[in-house]
Amino acid sequence: MKEAEIVHQFQKGDASAFRSIYDLYFDYAIRAATIVMNNNHFYAKDAVQETFIRVYKNIHLYDSSKPFKPWFYKILLNECNRILKRNANVISIGDRVGIMNQDNRVKDEMNRYVEYENLYDAIQKLEYHNRIPIILKYLNGFKEQEIAEIMNENLNTIKSRLLKGKQKLKRFLNSEKGGM
């Protein structure tokens, strides 16, 4: 069944369709939220959980003439921002190493991120207005127009932020390699 059909079934009240939406979006949502939440996996899980609750409660507000994915990610980003504001002292992944050593399950989860650590660190160094478009485009596959709609920004603004964000990422990653 196609995504549009699944969403339509959910709007009609089919609870199993919601499970299908959850299965389709959970992995992408947790990855995006983890990066937005400064690699704090626990807050990312909260943001994703709240996002799915809001989607469930507000599916009647979704305009089925538009793509579902941007609507979903707009809710996700709003939840991430709400949690970040509420918890202004979100700690980074590096500050939690001691905690992770006590919990093998969490340690195993974090091992998945090790190979991307330099990239994630570089993304975290970006300013918010450059970081979010980079995450949405390159980690979640959104088109620039969709990103502009999600962020309520002009398309040219998004293009500029993507270009500047990529340039900054390149500088950060090159400096990590010692200027190579």
Residues 40-88 have pLDDT tens digits of: 888 899 999 999 999 999 999 999 888 899 999 999 998 988 888 887 6
pLDDT (average), residues 30-38: 86
Supply the pLDDT for residue 42.
Answer: 86
Supply the pLDDT for residue 88.
Answer: 65
Which among 125, 116, 134 is positioned nearest to 92, based on CA atoms? 125
Supply the pLDDT for residue 158.
Answer: 94
Supply the pLDDT for residue 56.
Answer: 93
Identify the residue with better confidence: 96 or 168. 168
Supply the pLDDT for residue 105.
Answer: 47
Supply the pLDDT for residue 178.
Answer: 61
pLDDT (average), residues 165-178: 82
Instruction: Work out the widest C-alpha separation in the chain, in whole angstroms.
Output: 56
pLDDT digits (tens, 9 = 90+) for 115-168: 456 677 778 788 889 988 988 888 778 899 999 988 889 999 999 999 999 999
Domains of the chain with CATH codes:
1-93 (1.10.1740.10), 115-180 (1.10.10.10)
147 vs 130, 136, 137, 150, CA distance in Å? 12, 7, 7, 5
User: Whole-prediction pTM value?
Assistant: 0.65
Supply the pLDDT for residue 85.
Answer: 82
DSSP string for residues in 119-179: HHHHHHHS-HHHHHHHIIIIIT---HHHHHHHHT--HHHHHHHHHHHHHHHHHHHHHHTT-
According to the per-residue pLDDT averaged within each range, which of 6-10, 34-38, 113-117 is highest? 6-10
